[in-house]
Amino acid sequence: MVSNLNLSLYSGSPPQNSDGNLKISNGPLYSKESVMKILTELGADSINVVTRKASRHIQKYDLDIDDGVLKLLKMALNSGKYLNSQWCEHGKGSTWSACDAYSVIENKWYETMHDYLETKWYIKFAIGKTGKLILIVSCHTSDEQE
């Protein structure tokens, strides 16, 4: 039997499959201060997008890591709402991360409309086992199905 690998700093054991309850109680798993410290020290170099779905969403919304994902993650930590913690599988395989999920509202000025547009984002992440990387598992707007 293949044992599942936990790539996150969280010390729990990942589930054997994604069929059961993936929620982790007593979250958030990572303090805002520890995540912000990594982001401040290493900036965009600390961010690693680890799922195909997150990569597709980031590309779809034309986000770059520096100005897009990094900014959204900081916004989520500073003014967003913690939703839950859960085990997240990195595709189909035996690699998992224990993640915190947040939602955040972004108000962005669009010159062509001469108005602000409000977008609700969901971002799910973990601190990597080394404590130096932020693993992005999900980053999408509220119109996307998870």
Evaluate whether residue 107 is within a structural domain: yes
Average pLDDT in the 129-137 region? Answer: 95
Three-state DSSP state, 18 = coil
Quick: pLDDT tens for 7-38.
999 998 898 877 778 999 999 999 999 999 99
Closest by CA to 72, choosing from 87, 57, 85, is 57
How many domains in the chain? 1
Evaluate whether residue 31 is within a structural domain: yes
Evaluate whether residue 124 is within a structural domain: yes
Q: Is the pTM of this model over 0.75?
A: yes
Quick: pLDDT tens for 72-124.
999 999 999 999 999 999 977 789 999 999 999 998 777 787 788 888 999 99
Evaluate whether residue 2 is within a structural domain: no
Evaluate whether residue 14 is within a structural domain: no
What is the residue range of 53's domain?
Answer: 26-141
Evaluate whether residue 119 is within a structural domain: yes
